[in-house]
């Protein structure tokens, strides 16, 4: 029945009439002990002091990999369903891999990455850069499904090309109910080992003693050269001011009634989540209102409004500040590790502000006409979110130059969907459902951004037209992009008893982001469900469940912007490195081909994903042991990629369609009731999920066999998430160890240089000697949990893990490569206050000559490659259910449910990685060490029902 109801739940409004609601509910909630690999019931998860959907889901599901690479509350986190389907080379690629979030039938409008076009760096997205999925209040959630197989995704079409996370909120059920949930807790500051200039000086002296000439000795950095300088050589106690314990609080209250002809539910929530460093934190205010009515016997109307507000206090990193300003001042001398100095630096922020506010409002109105076998549903859905960031840095923060910027951006979706369903019962054993529908999707993304330098004084903190900021240093950016999509779909499903089910789903979608000659794509999918147990093994007592599910289909993949739909175009693009948005020549605006962005020709047809999913579900002994195993193969075809070409025509690259990437994987989930049985006995439930994924590049456009993009090599037949590195084999100690004429692309090796493997044995080290090695994304992900309960007590422990992933320890590479890093400051080598924290293992690396032109401590070598696998104890929870006791003592009281619990989170990590937490690494696989640690936290909470 699950499958049928799933289909129904897609096509129908969320609110169904009573009988169907029960069916739907049953299908979504874990009955008995059956494995629903796609369903998470957030009972245990709701206790977590998390802020975002990503954090809640981390390690809980097969097929869903979550990158929480920053412990700063409210920052953007990434999700990937069943692997990456294209190389992730920049944030825009990463955005394009994110799954669709459907909240109560509302396909949410996420952030659009187009503002990266005007950014010189990828440190943060412009604007508040707040995780939009931090708006979801977990206490309101009934179920979360991860839709992965092609037939399930097909319901959402190309919007769900990367998979779908379908969230259903709690519906009012039975009479009048009041619920109150509350927790409070603390996240604890980490214990760190601080260092001062003495440490750094001793570290560097080794290199200077061994390799420096007089001139190089003469240019020894000023901040290290005077050991009497108390600013750098004094006590290193900055961490007292930087790290603080953070308060965690969450409150949610709801009231609902459910009568025969009307239901409503109203909930309010407030969350405070303070970070452990630099005054960071997130606040959320949420409100939700749901009403459903049955004014006539055959008519149902429902309306839902969901409003959220997020306020984020961001870090005060130099890097983030200069990235926002796109201005790098002289950074020769880092911040002082001394608490007094650091505090007076922090005081300079007193007059500053950095307001980050995100408002989200979404809702739908559904109308359903029910005429027995024939149903017609019409829904209008709107999702709107806006981000505001207002920044002011006073003069004191940048030697007498103030800075202000104002950002306003919005993402909006209006969705209009009509569906007709006909249920056709041939007899009690055979049933046919037919469905047809259309949907229209209007999306708008836009932003206004203005920044200015050197205001007249610190009192004018907003960019006005009053001239308080000089017009020559006032920069304005506006952009807007629209995407429209039209879909037609139809399906037919056939059900034979509860034994066999087959459903065929056909759809055609037209997208305005596709070129006019190929706007439309037809996509079929088929799902077959065979209950072998019911069919053949009814008498078998051992086997309680045996099902086979097969699903096959094609899903379109959308272009991210209208940019590709236009064919050759003209833009204002006359910038250069570091000043890419210079607007004009002598004040006159320009139009040129988009040379640095790349050539866009014609015949860029739809990209699509062909997928097959095979699943087997086995239950033993009345499902005491239940296991599900899935195999999938996913071929994403005809995808766009920029190929370096036409450089003699000025283009950096040309966008061509024809990249095929295959993902294959096996997913395994197990649920085992080790101890179960009578009341008041100890119960023990063990759950495990593990996913294996492997991606392979199958084809590049133009019959290319390989492609070099920056520091990455994409090679047909290989994975797309591999590092491309020199193999380090030691150090040349003396001249006589160096083969005559051996060089690094023309530069002769000298003693003190590294030995890199000369793969093609030509006495010359260059890119042809690099090897593809390691994986940025894990091969295995998963988690396991134990749930123990005894009488009113329950105890949960949850672990999760990543295996088979690697990290370039770029932070250590930067430390050793100090000569080059300090030679030219970039956004990726700014020394934060955390520079004065001892991290990493200094003994792992040989002492090379840091002045050598072969760049001995380059990051593209396996010297800095490390195994980034880890196992984490995500949470321990202990709860006590007081409901029965209260009920016993106050039989006439109002309290129906009373549950108290405590949690301990992120308790330990086991990893071979020598840097900090291996999770704190983004899609590049490079760990620069800037991201904030994920804290350990402890909470106490109650859940109450009246």
Partner 1 sequence: MVHIKLKSAMLATLIIVFSSCKKMLDVDSSSAVSEVNMWQHMEDAKAALMGVYGLTRAALADNDAFWLYGEVRPGEFISPGRQDLKAIANNELTASYATLENLTNWRRWYAAINAANLFLERIHEVKSKDEHYTENNMNVDIAQVRSLRAFAYFYMARIWGDIPLILASNENEFVNKPREDQNKVLAWAQTELEESAEQLPFEYSTQDEKQQGDYYNETSDKWAGALIRKLSDYAILAHISAYQGNYQEVANYTAYIINNYSSSKMNFSSSSYLGSSTGLFNNRNSNQLLGFSFDWNYQEGSPVGHIEELTLASPLVDKEVPDLYLPKNKIIDIFTEDKDGRFYLDTLGNPGNENYFTNFTSKYPIFSKINCNLGGETADENFSTFTSAIIFTRLEDIVLLRAEALFALGDRSDAESTLNTIRIKRGLNNYSKDINGDLLTSIFTERQRELMGEGHRWYDLIRFNKLRKVNDNISNLIENGGIYWPISKNVLGQNSLLEQNNYWK
- Closest approach, Cβ 579 to partner 1, in A, equals 4
* Three-class SS state of 868: coil
- Closest approach, Cβ 419 to partner 1, in A, equals 11
- Closest approach, Cβ 525 to partner 1, in A, equals 22
When computed from its CA atoms, the radius of gyration of the chain, rounded to whole angstroms, is: 29
Q: How far apart are CA 92 and CA 642, in angstroms?
A: 13
Please identify, using beta-carbon distances, which residue of 680 and 824 lies nearer to partner 1: 824
Please identify, using beta-carbon distances, which residue of 215 and 908 lies nearer to partner 1: 215
Please identify, using beta-carbon distances, which residue of 374 and 459 lies nearer to partner 1: 374
Q: Which two structure tokens, joined as six digits, stand for 334? A: 């880092």
Look at strands 754-756 and 706-709 and give their pairing. Answer: unpaired
- Closest approach, Cβ 368 to partner 1, in A, equals 12
Distances (CA, A) of 515 to 559, 565, 605: 10, 4, 7
Please identify, using beta-carbon distances, which residue of 638 and 820 lies nearer to partner 1: 820
Please identify, using beta-carbon distances, which residue of 26 and 210 lies nearer to partner 1: 210
- Closest approach, Cβ 904 to partner 1, in A, equals 46
In three-state form (DSSP H/G/I as H, E/B as E, the rest C), the secondary structure along 83-143 is CCCCCCCCHHHHHCCCCEEEECCEECCCCCHHHHHHCCCCCCCCCCCECHHHHCCHHHEEE
Q: How far apart are CA 931 and CA 935, in angstroms?
A: 12
What b/e string do you get for 74-99 counting C-beta neighbours within 10 Å, with b at 16 or more? bbbbbbbbbbbbbbbbebbbbbbbbb
Look at strands 100-103 and 164-169 and give their pairing. Answer: parallel
- Closest approach, Cβ 800 to partner 1, in A, equals 38
CB 530 within 8 A of CB 555: no
- Closest approach, Cβ 374 to partner 1, in A, equals 8
* Three-class SS state of 913: coil
- Closest approach, Cβ 207 to partner 1, in A, equals 14
CB 701 within 8 A of CB 659: yes
Please identify, using beta-carbon distances, which residue of 576 and 908 lies nearer to partner 1: 576
DSSP 668-693: EEEEEEEE--STTS-EEEEEEEEEEE
Neighbours of 436 (CB within 10 A): 16
* Three-class SS state of 279: coil
- Closest approach, Cβ 686 to partner 1, in A, equals 51
Please identify, using beta-carbon distances, which residue of 80 and 606 lies nearer to partner 1: 606
- Closest approach, Cβ 754 to partner 1, in A, equals 13
Neighbours of 824 (CB within 10 A): 8
Please identify, using beta-carbon distances, which residue of 241 and 418 lies nearer to partner 1: 418
- Closest approach, Cβ 690 to partner 1, in A, equals 41
Please identify, using beta-carbon distances, which residue of 593 and 896 lies nearer to partner 1: 593
Please identify, using beta-carbon distances, which residue of 371 and 682 lies nearer to partner 1: 371
CB 233 within 8 A of CB 197: yes
Please identify, using beta-carbon distances, which residue of 562 and 667 lies nearer to partner 1: 562
CB 258 within 8 A of CB 175: yes
Q: How far apart are CA 201 and CA 194, in angstroms?
A: 14
- Closest approach, Cβ 230 to partner 1, in A, equals 20
- Closest approach, Cβ 9 to partner 1, in A, equals 22
Q: For residue 758, what is the DSSP state?
A: -
DSSP 771-800: EEE--SS-SEEEEEEEEEEETTEEEEEEEE
- Give me the residues paired with residue 684 across strands: 675, 788
Neighbours of 893 (CB within 10 A): 11
- Closest approach, Cβ 365 to partner 1, in A, equals 15
Q: Which two structure tokens, joined as six digits, stand for 739? A: 């083969």
Please identify, using beta-carbon distances, which residue of 247 and 371 lies nearer to partner 1: 371
CB 759 within 8 A of CB 766: no
Q: Which two structure tokens, joined as six digits, stand for 921? A: 């690494």
Please identify, using beta-carbon distances, which residue of 536 and 759 lies nearer to partner 1: 759
Please identify, using beta-carbon distances, which residue of 182 and 416 lies nearer to partner 1: 416
- Closest approach, Cβ 331 to partner 1, in A, equals 10
- Closest approach, Cβ 508 to partner 1, in A, equals 11
- Closest approach, Cβ 137 to partner 1, in A, equals 34
CB 521 within 8 A of CB 509: yes
Residue 113: half-sphere exposure toward Cβ, Cα within 13 Å: 18
Q: For residue 470, what is the DSSP state?
A: -
- Closest approach, Cβ 395 to partner 1, in A, equals 9
In three-state form (DSSP H/G/I as H, E/B as E, the rest C), the secondary structure along 211-241 is HCCHHHHHCCCHHHHCCCCHHHHCCCCCHHH
Please identify, using beta-carbon distances, which residue of 375 and 789 lies nearer to partner 1: 375
Please identify, using beta-carbon distances, which residue of 272 and 485 lies nearer to partner 1: 485
Report the first-to-last Cα separation within the chain, whole angstroms: 33
Sign of CA dihedral 423, 427, 428, 431: negative
Residue 478: exposed, middle, or buried by beta-carbon count in 10 A (0-12, 13-18, 19+)? exposed
Contacts of 895 (CB under 8 A, 6+ apart): 883, 886, 887, 944, 945, 946
| CA neighbor of 628 nearest in space, from 146, 59, 34 | 34
Please identify, using beta-carbon distances, which residue of 99 and 556 lies nearer to partner 1: 556
| CA neighbor of 255 nearest in space, from 139, 176, 143, 142 | 176
Neighbours of 702 (CB within 10 A): 12
Please identify, using beta-carbon distances, which residue of 420 and 434 lies nearer to partner 1: 420
């Amino acid at each position: 029945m699950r499958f049928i109801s799933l289909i129904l739940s897609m096509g129908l409004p969320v609110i169904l009439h009573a009988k169907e609601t029960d069916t739907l509910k049953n299908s979504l909630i874990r009955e008995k002990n059956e494995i629903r690999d796609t369903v998470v019931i957030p009972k245990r998860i709701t206790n977590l002091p998390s802020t975002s959907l990503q954090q809640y889901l981390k390690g809980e599901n097969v097929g869903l990999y979550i990158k929480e690479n920053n412990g700063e509350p409210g920052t953007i986190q990434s999700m990937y369903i069943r692997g990456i389907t294209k190389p992730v080379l920049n944030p825009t690629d990463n955005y394009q891999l994110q799954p669709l979030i459907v909240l109560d039938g509302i396909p949410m409008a996420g952030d659009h990455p187009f503002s990266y076009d005007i950014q010189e760096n990828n440190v943060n997205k412009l604007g508040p850069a707040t995780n939009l999925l931090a708006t979801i209040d977990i206490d309101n959630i009934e179920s979360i499904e991860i839709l992965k197989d092609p037939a399930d995704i097909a319901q959402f079409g190309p919007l769900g090309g990367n998979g779908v996370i379908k969230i259903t909120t709690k519906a009012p059920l039975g009479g009048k109910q009041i619920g109150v949930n509350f927790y409070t807790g603390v996240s604890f500051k980490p214990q760190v080992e601080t260092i001062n200039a003495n440490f750094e000086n001793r570290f560097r002296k080794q290199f200077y003693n061994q390799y420096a000439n007089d001139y190089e000795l003469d240019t020894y950095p000023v901040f290290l050269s005077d050991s009497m300088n108390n600013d750098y050589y004094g006590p290193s106690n900055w961490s007292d001011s930087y790290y603080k314990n953070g308060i965690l609080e969450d409150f949610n209250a709801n009231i609902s009634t459910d009568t025969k002809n009307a239901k409503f539910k109203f909930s309010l929530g407030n969350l405070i989540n303070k970070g452990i460093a630099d005054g960071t934190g997130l606040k959320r205010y949420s409100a939700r209102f749901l009403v459903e009515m049955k004014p006539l016997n055959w008519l149902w109307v429902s309306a839902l409004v969901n409003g959220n507000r997020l306020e984020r206090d961001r870090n005060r990193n130099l890097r983030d500040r200069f990235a926002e300003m796109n201005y790098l001042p002289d950074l020769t001398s880092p911040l002082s590790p001394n608490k007094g100095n650091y505090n007076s630096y922090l005081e300079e922020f007193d007059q500053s502000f950095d307001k980050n506010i995100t408002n989200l409002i979404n809702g739908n109105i559904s109308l359903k006409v029910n005429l027995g076998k024939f149903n017609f549903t019409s829904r209008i859905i709107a999702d709107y979110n806006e981000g505001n960031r207002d920044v002011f840095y006073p003069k004191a923060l940048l030697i007498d130059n103030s800075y202000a910027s104002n950002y306003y951006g919005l993402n909006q979706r209006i969705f209009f969907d009509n569906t007709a369903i006909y249920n056709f019962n041939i007899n009690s054993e055979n049933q046919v459902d037919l469905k047809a529908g259309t949907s229209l999707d209007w999306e708008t993304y836009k932003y206004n951004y203005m920044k200015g330098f050197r205001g007249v004084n610190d009192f004018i903190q907003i960019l006005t037209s009053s001239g308080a900021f000089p017009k020559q240093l006032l920069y304005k950016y506006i952009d807007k992009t629209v995407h429209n999509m039209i879909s037609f779909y139809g399906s037919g499903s056939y059900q034979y008893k509860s034994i066999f089910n087959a459903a065929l789903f056909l759809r055609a979608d037209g997208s305005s982001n596709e070129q006019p000659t190929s706007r439309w794509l037809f996509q079929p999918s088929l799902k077959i469900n065979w209950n072998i147990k019911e069919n053949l093994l009814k008498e078998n007592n051992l086997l309680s469940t045996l099902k086979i599910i097969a699903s096959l289909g094609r899903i379109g993949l959308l272009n991210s912007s209208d940019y590709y739909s236009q064919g050759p175009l003209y833009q204002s693009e006359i910038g250069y490195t570091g000043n890419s948005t210079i607007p004009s020549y002598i004040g006159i605006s320009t139009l040129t081909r988009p040379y640095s962005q790349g050539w866009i020709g014609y015949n860029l047809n739809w990209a699509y994903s062909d997928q097959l999913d095979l699943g087997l579900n086995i239950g033993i002994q009345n499902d005491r042991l239940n296991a599900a195993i899935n195999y999938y193969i996913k071929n994403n075809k005809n995808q766009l990629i920029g190929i370096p070409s036409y450089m003699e025509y000025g283009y950096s690259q040309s966008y061509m369609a024809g990249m095929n990437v295959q993902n294959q994987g096996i997913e395994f989930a197990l649920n085992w009731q080790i101890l179960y049985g009578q009341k008041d006995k100890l119960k023990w439930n063990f759950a495990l999920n593990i996913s294996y994924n492997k991606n392979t590049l199958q084809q590049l456009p133009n019959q290319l066999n390989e492609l070099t993009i920056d520091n990455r090599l994409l090679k047909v037949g290989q994975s797309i998430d591999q590092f491309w590195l020199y193999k380090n084999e030691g150090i040349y100690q003396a001249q006589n160890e160096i083969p005559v004429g051996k060089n690094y692309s023309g530069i002769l090796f000298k003693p003190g240089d590294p030995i890199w493997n000369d793969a093609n044995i030509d006495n010359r080290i260059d890119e042809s000697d690099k090897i593809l090695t390691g994986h940025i994304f894990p091969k295995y992900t998963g988690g396991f949990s134990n749930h123990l309960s005894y009488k009113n007590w329950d105890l949960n422990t949850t672990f999760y893990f990543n295996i088979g992933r690697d990290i370039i320890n770029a932070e250590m590479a930067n430390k050793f490569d100090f000569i080059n890093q300090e030679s030219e400051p970039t956004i990726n080598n700014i020394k934060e206050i955390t520079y004065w924290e001892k991290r990493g293992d200094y003994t792992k690396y040989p002492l090379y000559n840091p002045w050598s032109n072969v760049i001995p401590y380059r990051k593209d070598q396996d010297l800095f490659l490390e195994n980034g696998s880890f196992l984490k104890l995500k949470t321990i929870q202990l709860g006590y259910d007081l409901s029965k006791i209260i009920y016993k003592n106050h039989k006439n009281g109002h309290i129906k449910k009373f549950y108290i619990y405590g949690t301990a989170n992120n308790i330990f990590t086991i990893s071979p990685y020598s840097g900090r937490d291996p999770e704190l690494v983004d899609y590049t696989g490079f760990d620069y060490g800037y991201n904030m640690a994920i804290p350990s936290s402890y909470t106490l909470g109650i859940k109450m029902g009246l």
